[in-house]
Structure 1
């Protein structure tokens, strides 16, 4: 593991119960995120491959939502504590300890990958490799939904996230990185901050090109 992954995993291990309680409502207070995830799930169902992974799943609240939306969903997270909590809370679903950069999934196996604010702790220089791994596990026509904090400036901005350092991104720069991984961005949503951090919230929906 690299240093930032060690630090991120340890930081989230230390806030499992607090984090789980904060997100128990599963986006009832976040209509933009909720509707983007609903659209993602609808498109995955329409493409026919229902297997989907929630990368950086935390306590598993969105993995459960994907399951309710008709997907064959499982979650992975760097934090063993988060995965242990998710398994206890949702014993009917699968959760694995794994890095986003090394998913325990065969090539082209999935119809969908959800990355809900789970790329934000990755240093910008390592993001292209992370995105390439998400593309690797998607079947042709598979869907990728990534959400992140956005900035109006020309470069990613490091900030002090409440758990561990994170980065906000110019939306166009992040979209270019997604395209560089072999995915076609076909929808984006940018809206006013959903939290007190003050950053814009951004969502990109992309598809792996059919061969």
Structure 2
């Protein structure tokens, strides 16, 4: 990342740096009590393992619990997050795993080097005009036959909101609430084929449905 990063990347970096500690405390394992999410991640891991030994990138890895679970499922994996402070805390929590500072919108990885990409709840801060380009980057770094698993908050209609405070800290985050159909369209335009769509209704204190898309780079 550099001074040439788009404004939304800089905003995400500074915002998540500010809330990295309380975010980790609130979400030490966001999959612990979510059997559907765990099942989808397990299926993703099986697909990746069946395809070979190329690693998986957990993009927007946050506290690192998805990275750790993929590792436990026998997948070679590393985490990438835009926030240096978040990466520092993830390394402390999971000292045996690799975490790097980087942006999912501009992956500094060789072409065809990944067997899979997991991006759980990390595309919500990417503006519409950058989304197809971001997924084209996914396509570039995936090996033929590689898989993508996305999760994101959804709704009945595409919408946008601004988050200015979280955990008592000032932040500046635009959140884009897209339908599964909208995101699937961006994936398709980037050359990735949709394999599955799941929409889960809100639970407990959630206010929006959770959408999951599984896509694949053609072999």
The normalised TM-score by structure 2 is 0.90
Asked whether 1:192 is paired with 2:194, we answer: no
Distance 1:159 1:196, change over 3 A: farther
User: 1:144 pairs with 125, 143, 148, which one?
Assistant: 148
Is contact 2:146-2:217 (8 Å) kept?
Answer: yes
Is contact 2:148-2:215 (8 Å) kept?
Answer: yes
User: 1:158 pairs with 153, 157, 160, which one?
Assistant: 160
Other-structure match for 2:22:
18
RMSD over aligned CA atoms reads: 1.4
Whole-angstrom CA distance in 1 between matches of 2:210 and 2:85: 27
Q: Secondary structure at the match of 1:99?
A: coil
Asked whether 1:182 is paired with 2:184, we answer: no
Deviation at 1:59, TM superposition (A): 1.5
Q: Secondary structure at the match of 1:104?
A: coil
Is contact 1:49-1:110 (8 Å) kept?
Answer: no
Q: Secondary structure at the match of 2:215?
A: strand
Deviation at 1:60, TM superposition (A): 1.1
Is contact 2:114-2:143 (8 Å) kept?
Answer: yes
Whole-angstrom CA distance in 1 between matches of 2:152 and 2:119: 9
Whole-angstrom CA distance in 1 between matches of 2:160 and 2:85: 25
Q: Secondary structure at the match of 2:57?
A: strand
Deviations along 1:46-99, whole A, 9 cap, x unmatched?
111341000010121111111001111000110000011111221211111111
Alignment of 1:93-172 (within 5 A): 93-153=97-157, 156-161=158-163, 162=166, 164-172=173-181
Q: When the two structures are aligned, how many residues end up with a matched partner?
A: 208
Whole-angstrom CA distance in 1 between matches of 2:198 and 2:54: 24
Is contact 2:87-2:101 (8 Å) kept?
Answer: yes
Is contact 1:191-1:201 (8 Å) kept?
Answer: yes
Whole-angstrom CA distance in 2 between matches of 1:31 and 1:119: 22
Q: For structure 1, which runs of at least 5 residues remain unmatched after alignment?
A: none
Deviation at 1:34, TM superposition (A): 1.4
The normalised TM-score by structure 1 is 0.94
